Structures are given as C-alpha cells and as structure tokens.
Amino acid sequence: MAKPRLADAEKRKTIAALKKAKGSRAYAASLMGVEPTALRSRVANMLRDPKWRTQIPPAPSGARDVGQGDPVADAIKAGQRIRYLEGQVERLRGVKARRVRPAKKRSGKDDEILVAWPDLHGSQQDPAAVAAFLGDLKRLQPDRAVGLGDIVDAGGFLAQHHVWGFVAEASYTWEEDVAAANSFLDSVQGAAPNARIELIAGNHCERPERWAVTSALRNRADAEFLRRRVATDEALGLRRRGIPYYRRSEHYDGLSVQGTIRRGKLLLTHGPQRGGGSGLSAGANMLRRYGSSVAFGHTHRVSTLIERSVSGGTIGSFNLGCLSKLQPLWQHSEPTSWNHAFGVFVMARSGRFLPIVVPIVNGVSLLPELKLG
C-alpha cells in the first residue's frame, strides 16, 4: 500500500513552526509535538517539491541538529531521552546510574480499594464538593464504597424545635431532600458500577423514624405504617438498589457497639454521639472508646490521629469531614471549622490498610493522579 502524501495543511503547519523556530529543526519538532526524525523526513520530502522548497527557512548556521552527527543527539531517541540525561548527570557526579525496575504486580486480586464518604445532608449538600468526589470515585473505580451516615438532612422533621429565625432551615421539603439524596446515589452507582455500596445510618437519617414513632403515639403498627412511607432506607429504595443499610440500633460483624461495621482491620461508623468533641479531640475519644482503627463522620471536621496500641501495633482514627455546605443557617453567627473531604483505604488481604484522607478545597480535590491496576 502506497504511503499517503502529506496534506498541504500539515506542510503549512510545518513551515510555520520552522519560521517560529528560526530554522531549528529540533525546536520546530518540539513545537509541533513530533519526533525530530519525523520532522526531518518531512522537511526532506518538502525540499524535493519546488512548491515548498523556497518557503522552508534554512537551518541556523553552524547548528548541529538532532541526528546530524551530534553524538549526544544520536543517543537521545524515543523512549531513551530521560534515561540518557539521568545517566549523564550521574556520570558527572561520579555515581553509577542504576535503573530501578518496577515491582511485579502480584497475580490475583490481593488488595481492595475502599472509599468512605462522609455526611452529605441531602438538600444541604455542597454541589462543588460532591462533583469533585464523584470525579475521584470514577477515576478510582473502588471495590467498595461506604457512606458514613447523614445522607439526608431531614430538617423538616425537627421543625417544631426551630425558633422563628430558623424556619428557613426547614424550607425544603422531605421530597426534595430525598430527591437530592437519590440523585447522589444514582451518581455514585454510575461512577463506580462495580463497587459494593453500603450505607451506615446517621442521626439525621433517624429523624423520620423518630417522627413516625412520635406521631403514632408509640403504637407499633401505626408507627411501622408511617415508617414504611418516610424512613430514609425506604425513601431511597435501598433494598431495590441492593445497598445494605446499617442501623444505629443494631449490631453487626460481631461488634459490641451498634451501628458499626468492620472491613479488614478498619471499623466504620457515623461518629461520636455524646461527648465526642470535635477535630482531634473527637479522634482521640473514638480511639479510646473503640480501641481500634476507625473511620467516621458526624463532626464535619477533618483530622487524623495515629497512636501506638498496647499490643505494639498502631491504630488510627480518621475523621473524614463532610460533603455538605460548610456554613449552614443555624451557624449563621459563628464561622464553622468544617471541611470537605473523603477517605480512600487500600485494604490488603491481611486486613491491614493504607489510609488516604482526601481534602476538597473550594470544590477541587487534592487527590493526586493515581495509576491503579
């Protein structure tokens, strides 16, 4: 098959690059993003054509272009440029250059990527923070994604406790709150279609059920009737979605504390309920109470605390912030210390894990571009 001829548009682009580079073939090649050898071949073909010959600027006087007898340039070929320059630098230092080979990837799926997201608060979510989280989720393609509670805000179910200045806190409807949380779950399942998604109940998730019990005057049958219509897990269709829902009133994975699950050597829960404190104090209290590594939300603050355990190992508490608005109406006169973040945990088959707390600042995730798999 005959080699296709170079289009006139590409030839004009080549001439423009050569003029900008003042005749330097190597510089022109870098401007065009092509290999110098490819550019030289292109120029050689154009020089045979009288139509283009006079338009090609000559190479700089005395310049030795790549491939024109320069031993350094001859050594710098595709795929060798960095190694060659590294070797030259090390040789000048008197150190023998060593090429480090990447470790071979183990066969089989030994590790698991677990992503844990903190409090969303439904209608009160921060759109920019949520968009950043979903973008990272799509890139990471985790094996497991765990919501740490308060996926809904349910402010209206406590409206009777709001004073007049805070009526606007319940201005959105439960239907709108549920729609926002459902849209988020749709996006999570779309971004990570192969992930095992799990959801832990938070204190805001319980508000509709408490309202059902109170409104039914503790009549069990009536309370259950109302619960099936307003409860968070029912409203979000978690059974239909195949998402397990871990209640704060029940025990899981053989743990003595309700509303907590174990994945590897990491415990996941919504967070401290009484006397938990905030920031590092919350993390210290969680380590003291749980005696194990634990990831949680609830405080809307970000902190990591690592301590040495009595057995000689290390345990850590990972306070993962929130994905909600950082300045809610009820905090109108006091700037919060809340922050957006989420957690990534690389879980080994042994149960040990590498924790990464990912801050989101002004809607921009600080997660580096990781190459996984």
Left (φ > 0), alpha (ψ -120 to 50) or beta: where does 184 sit?
alpha
Q: How confident is the model at residue 81 (pLDDT cuts 50, 70, 90)?
A: low
Q: Choose the weakest-confidence range: 41-55, 141-155, 228-242, 337-351.
A: 41-55
**What pLDDT score does 170 carry?**
61
pLDDT digits over 107-160, tens only? 445 689 999 999 999 999 999 999 999 999 999 999 999 999 999 998 877 666
Pick the most confident of 140-154, 156-170, 205-219, 316-330: 140-154
Q: Return the closest-CA partner of residue 207 out of 256, 248, 260.
A: 248
Contact 223, 216 (CB under 8 A): yes
Average pLDDT rounded to a whole number, residues 40-63: 80
The H-or-E segment that residue 147 falls in is strand 144-147
Rounded CA separation 104/337 (Å): 44
Let me know: does 116 contact 169? Beta carbons within 8 Å. no
The CATH architecture that domain 112-365 belongs to is 4-Layer Sandwich (3.60)
Residue 81 one-letter amino acid: R
Distance CA 82, CA 48 (A): 34
For residues 164-179, average pLDDT: 73
DSSP 8-state secondary structure symbol assigned to residue 125: B
Q: Which of 257, 275, 277, 276 is nearest to 267 (CA)?
A: 257
Spatial neighbors of 123 by CB under 8 A, at least 6 apart, are: 153, 172, 176, 177, 180
What are the sequence ranges of the domains in the chain?
8-93, 112-365
